[in-house]
Amino acid sequence: MGRMERSCFTLDLGAIRRNAETLLRAAEGAELWAVVKAEGYGHGAVDVSKAALEAGATALCVATLPEALHLRAALRNARILVMGPVSERELGEARVARLELVAADGQVPEGVRVHLKIDTGMGRWGLSELPSPTRDVVGVMSHLASAESDPAFTQLQVARFREATAGLSSLTRHLANSAAVLRFAEARFDAVRCGIALYGISPFGTDPSHDGLEPALRWESYVALAKRLDPGESTGYGRRYVADRPTWIGVVPVGYADGFRRDMSGTDVLVDGVRRRVVGTISMDALAVVLDGPVESGTPVTLVGDGVLVEEHARVADTIAYEVAVGLNTRSGRARRVAVDG
The DSSP code for 209 is G
Distance (Å, rounded) from C-alpha 77 to C-alpha 59?
Answer: 10
* Of 37, 50, 117, 222, catalytic: 37
Can you tell me the mean pLDDT for 72-99?
95
The answer to whether residues 253 and 282 touch, using CB atoms and an 8 Å cutoff, is no
Three-class DSSP category at 221:
strand
**How sure is the predictor about 3, in pLDDT bands with cuts at 50, 70 and 90?**
low
Q: Is residue 1 predicted with pLDDT exceeding 50? A: no
pLDDT tens string 222-267: 999 999 999 999 999 999 999 999 999 999 999 999 999 999 999 9
Residue 191 CB contacts under 8 Å (≥ 6 apart), including other chains: 30, 31, 32, 33, 58, 59, 139, 172, 173, 174
Query: How distant, in Å, are the alpha carbons of 32, 68, 179, 205 from that of 184?
Result: 15, 29, 8, 17
Distance (Å, rounded) from C-alpha 271 to C-alpha 85?
Answer: 44
222 given a catalytic annotation: no
Tell me the one-letter amino acid at 146: S
pLDDT tens string 278-326: 999 999 999 999 999 999 999 999 999 999 999 999 999 999 999 999 9
- pLDDT recorded at residue 105: 85
In a 13 Å sphere around the CA of 101, the CA atoms on its Cβ side amount to 27
* Of 227, 237, 241, 256, catalytic: 237
> Average model confidence (pLDDT) for the chain?
95
117 given a catalytic annotation: no
**How sure is the predictor about 2, in pLDDT bands with cuts at 50, 70 and 90?**
very low
Tell me the one-letter amino acid at 216: A
Three-class DSSP category at 87:
coil
Q: Which of 67, 97, 61 is nearest to 81 (CA)?
A: 61
pLDDT tens string 206-232: 999 999 999 999 999 999 999 999 999
**How sure is the predictor about 125, in pLDDT bands with cuts at 50, 70 and 90?**
confident
Task: Report residue 35: phi and psi, to 5°.
Answer: -90, 115
Say what the pTM is: 0.95
The answer to whether residues 56 and 31 touch, using CB atoms and an 8 Å cutoff, is no
Q: Which of 54, 4, 1, 18 is nearest to 200 (CA)?
A: 18
Residue 296 CB contacts under 8 Å (≥ 6 apart), including other chains: 1, 223, 226
The answer to whether residues 258 and 334 touch, using CB atoms and an 8 Å cutoff, is yes
